[in-house]
Amino acid sequence: MDPLLVTKGLTRRFGGLKAVDGVDFTLMPGEIRAVIGPNGAGKTTFVSMVCGRVLPSAGMILFDGGDITDMPPHSRVRQGIAYTFQITSVFPNLSVYDNVALPVQRTLTDGRSRGAIHTGVLTALEKVGLADRAAMQAGQLAYGHQRLLEVAMGLALKPRLLILDEPTQGLSDAEIEDFVRLVRTVAEDATVLLIEHNMPLVMQLADRITVFDAGRVLAEGTPEQIRSDAAVQAAYLGTGAGEAA
């Protein structure tokens, strides 16, 4: 099986700072991959380059074998890359339904097909448990539900790669349990790349984990391998966090 996503020597400089420094990364189709690391490790900059929001200073990004390094974000969406932001990016003055209808229309050849739009919207909202709030104004949702709405907007694009940046921030324990089930369902049809600080969730959900530190990949492996990695313990997890995870 060929990789879905590959980066080679991916680097991003901000002035004299290397936020991401020569990262080689491979993601296989159908995988749930978590990216972890301390604040400032380069995680969000890395995925921002993958989705096209930030252009690399050096290196290459391949998606399904094609070079997308210089491709604009909207073209990457058409290729099948969807990215949910660390900070919610819903349209607060639109209804929950209309927020999801916008990305659904991008997937349709005939964007005027009301029946197809309606089906796509309800399917996405049902997956995240927000179908009963479809008529609400998005800005009136609780913060955790806004995060779920953003996931629904990503799912509405029918992505091949769904990138989730801190998706459980603001969710209750019960909502996090639902989110775990949701991601596993999504992974039946798509690949998931997840940035997350909730270590118990990461250890429960991820097939493999990539650990960033100071813009570089410090370690990579299964949850069990990462939990017992001495370098990861020293740089990020700490003994207590490792035992808790």
CA 66/CA 149 separation, integer angstroms = 31
* Domain regions of the chain by residue span: 1-80+161-245, 83-158
**Stronger pLDDT, 78 or 8, i.e. the higher one:** 8
pLDDT digits (tens, 9 = 90+) for 170-198: 788 888 888 888 899 889 889 999 999 89
Q: Are 1 and 21 in contact (CB under 8 A)?
A: no
**Stronger pLDDT, 170 or 28, i.e. the higher one:** 28
* CA-to-CA separations, 27 to 47, 111, 155, 230, in angstroms, rounded: 12, 32, 19, 24
- In this prediction, residue 182 carries a pLDDT of 87
Residues 6+ apart with CB under 8 A from 37: 43, 211, 212, 213, 218, 235, 236
Across 154-158, 210-214, 221-225, least confident range:
154-158
CA 6/CA 101 separation, integer angstroms = 31
pLDDT-derived band at 243 (thresholds 50, 70, 90) equals: very low
- Name the amino acid, one letter, at 50: V
- In this prediction, residue 172 carries a pLDDT of 86
pLDDT-derived band at 143 (thresholds 50, 70, 90) equals: confident
pLDDT digits (tens, 9 = 90+) for 81-139: 998 864 557 899 999 999 999 999 888 765 567 888 999 999 999 998 899 999 999 99
Please tell me the class of the 1-80+161-245 domain. alpha beta
CB-based burial, 77-88: b 16+ in 10 Å, e otherwise: beebbbbbbbeb
The yes-or-no verdict on residue 241 having pLDDT over 60 is no
DSSP H stretches of helix in the chain? 43-51, 73-79, 96-106, 114-128, 143-155, 173-186, 199-205, 223-227, 230-232, 238-244
- In this prediction, residue 110 carries a pLDDT of 57
Backbone phi and psi for residue 34, each to the nearest 5 degrees, phi listed first: -100, 140
**Stronger pLDDT, 88 or 51, i.e. the higher one:** 51
**pTM as predicted:** 0.86
CA 165/CA 169 separation, integer angstroms = 9
Joined together, the tokens standing for residue 14 give 């901000």
Strands 81-84 and 66-67: unpaired
Please name which of 157, 234, 212 lies closest in space to residue 33, comparing C-alpha atoms.
212
What mean pLDDT value characterizes the chain? 89
- In this prediction, residue 9 carries a pLDDT of 98
The yes-or-no verdict on residue 217 having pLDDT over 50 is yes
